[in-house]
Amino acid sequence: MAKVKKSQILSLIGACLAVPAVIVVPTVLVLKSKDEPKQPTPPTPPNPDETNNDKKPDSEVVPTPDIQPSPQPEVEPQPTEDTNQIRIEVLNLLNQKFEERLNIIIDVINTLSTQKDKNEETKHKIELEKQKLQRDIDNLKAFTNQDDSSFTLITDQLQHQITSYQNLVDKHNQEVWKLQDDIHKYLQNRFKLEKQLNDNTTKLNSLKQNFEQEETSLTKLKNEKQKLINHLQQQQSTQQTTLDKLEKQLEELRREEANLTNVIDQRNKQISALNTQISDQIRDINQQEQDIKSKQAEKQRWENALVTQAETKKQRLTNIKNLIRDILRLENELST
């Protein structure tokens, strides 16, 4: 029964290990712009599983590493050289990560193949030992005329050896089941990685198309930039000619300004002389006005004096007229 179970387990392991492993190596797409320099690809770090495989004993089963998918960075398409460079670095990093994962998978496959060969050798040795024990049991059964005690001792020894080999077979079966679980986990991880690889390949193709579109847009922008530069150069040439003319006019204006400054200085000197003359004339006029005022005051005094004299004379004439009238009246009276 144990032999049948063991053969079924070994056939199941052989069927699992006989599954063809399709290893898809992603093509490293180095998307470079024409104006960008090529960057060296960083070296792949050594796989620690390869260095640790030699130190493990033959009976130890190498567990399949649980490879978790790394989150993919989101890249926003922008028609600039900086975003193109970042996208190129992200693509190269993704390719490098896929290469590292595939190297780990290849190492696990090689380790499982080596363990399978070792298990086959152990199984062959166990079969040989079982055949040898079976021959010994058959030989012992042929010698039934021996002493019962010695036969019992030999039988106990053989039973102990059979038990030891049976324990070894059970341990081997446990390792086989553990190996089968590792193979199952490996196949699940491989399926996840293949699905992730297909998704990433689709994303990579989409990014490649976006990059080509952005490269076309960048070429258009470069052409428009060159046209704008040529237009600006023409404007700069025209403006430089205008600037030269304006500088000449500015020099002429500066010379005219210097001449006008000299004329203004002369006019200011003349104005200063005229202001001095005007000040002297104003002083003379003020003096003359004071003289006129004093003469007017004297004239008013004389006029007042003349008016007083005229009134006095008028009063005298009035008095004289009255006297003459009185004299005439008296003469008339006397004559009558």
| Token representation of residue 247 | 């500088």
Q: How far apart are CA 143 and CA 134, in angstroms?
A: 15
Q: How far apart are CA 130 and CA 165, in angstroms?
A: 8
In a domain, 205, yes or no: yes
| Token representation of residue 11 | 């056939």
Q: How many CA atoms lie within 13 A of 329 on its CB side?
A: 6
Nearest to 109 by CA among 179, 29, 198: 179
In a domain, 131, yes or no: yes
Nearest to 90 by CA among 139, 30, 150, 134: 30
Domain ranges, residue 86 = 12-33+76-223
In a domain, 67, yes or no: no
In a domain, 190, yes or no: yes
pLDDT at 250: 92
pLDDT at 96: 79
In a domain, 231, yes or no: no
Residue 228's pLDDT band, with cuts at 50, 70 and 90, is very high
In a domain, 89, yes or no: yes
Residue 9's pLDDT band, with cuts at 50, 70 and 90, is low
| Token representation of residue 294 | 């004093």
Considering Cα of 53, then 57, then 58, then 64, what sign does the dihedral take?
Answer: negative
**pLDDT at 66 > cutoff 70:** no
Average pLDDT over every residue of 86-106: 76
pLDDT at 200: 83
Which of residues 197 and 113 earns the better pLDDT score? 197
Residue 52's pLDDT band, with cuts at 50, 70 and 90, is very low
CB count in 10 Å sphere of residue 135: 10
Q: What's this model's pTM, rounded to 2 decimal places?
A: 0.28
In the numeric block, the tokens 């600039």 are attached to 80
Residue 48's pLDDT band, with cuts at 50, 70 and 90, is very low
In a domain, 25, yes or no: yes
- Chain segment 201-226, per-residue pLDDT in tens: 888 888 888 888 888 888 899 999 99
- Chain segment 290-331, per-residue pLDDT in tens: 988 888 888 888 988 888 988 998 898 999 988 888 888 888
pLDDT at 246: 92
pLDDT at 140: 65
Secondary structure, 3-state, the chain: CHHHHHHHHHHHHHHHHCCCCCCCCCCCCCCCCCCCCCCCCCCCCCCHHHHHHCCCCCCCCCCCCCCCCCCCCCCCCCCCHHHHHHHHHHHHHHHHHHHHHHHHHHHHHHHHHHHHHHHHHHHHHHHHHHHHHHHHHHHHHHCCCCCHHHHHHHHHHHHHHHHHHHHHHHHHHHHHHHHHHHHHHHHHHHHHHHHHHHHHHHHHHHHHHHHHHHHHHHHHHHHHHHHHHHHHHHHHHHHHHHHHHHHHHHHHHHHHHHHHHHHHHHHHHHHHHHHHHHHHHHHHHHHHHHHHHHHHHHHHHHHHHHHHHHHHHHHHHHHHHHHHHHHHHHHHHHHC
- Chain segment 242-282, per-residue pLDDT in tens: 999 999 999 999 999 999 999 999 999 999 999 999 999 99
Q: How many domains does the chain have?
A: 1
- Chain segment 118-172, per-residue pLDDT in tens: 778 877 887 787 787 777 777 766 655 454 555 556 667 767 777 877 788 788 7
**pLDDT at 11 > cutoff 50:** yes
pLDDT at 251: 92
Are the CB atoms for 2 and 126 separated by under 8 Å? Answer: no
Average pLDDT, the chain: 73
CB count in 10 Å sphere of residue 284: 10
CB count in 10 Å sphere of residue 207: 20
In a domain, 146, yes or no: yes
**pLDDT at 184 > cutoff 50:** yes
**pLDDT at 32 > cutoff 50:** no
